[in-house]
């Protein structure tokens, strides 16, 4: 079951550190099952509410102008 913890994400360019809008973000559980998907806003921000802080998640980030990234959170 889900708790009340949120994962707040800020997407940014690794080289310029500027926020990236329109990045497709997918949150996976520890079995690599999709939990939620968001798109970063104009400030590069997205939120995944209602998570259990004791679980491990994987965040996938994709934008057509950048290499995809996979991060365990």
Give the tens place of pLDDT for each residue, 6-50: 999 999 988 899 999 999 999 999 999 999 999 999 999 999 999
Residue 1 confidence (pLDDT): 40
pLDDT > 60? residue 5: yes
Quote the pTM value.
Answer: 0.86
Q: Write the secondary structure of the chain as one string of H (helix), E (strand) and C (coil).
A: CCCCEEEEEECECCCCCCECCCCEEEEECCCCCEEEEEECCCCCEEEEEEECCCCCCEEEEEECCEEEEEEEC
């Amino acid at each position: 079951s889900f708790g009340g913890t949120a994962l707040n994400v800020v997407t940014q360019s690794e080289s310029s550190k500027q926020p990236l809008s329109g990045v497709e973000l997918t949150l996976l559980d520890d079995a690599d099952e999709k939990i939620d998907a968001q798109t970063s806003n104009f400030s590069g921000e997205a939120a995944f509410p209602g998570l259990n802080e004791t679980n491990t998640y994987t965040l996938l980030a994709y934008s057509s102008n950048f290499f995809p990234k996979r991060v365990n959170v």
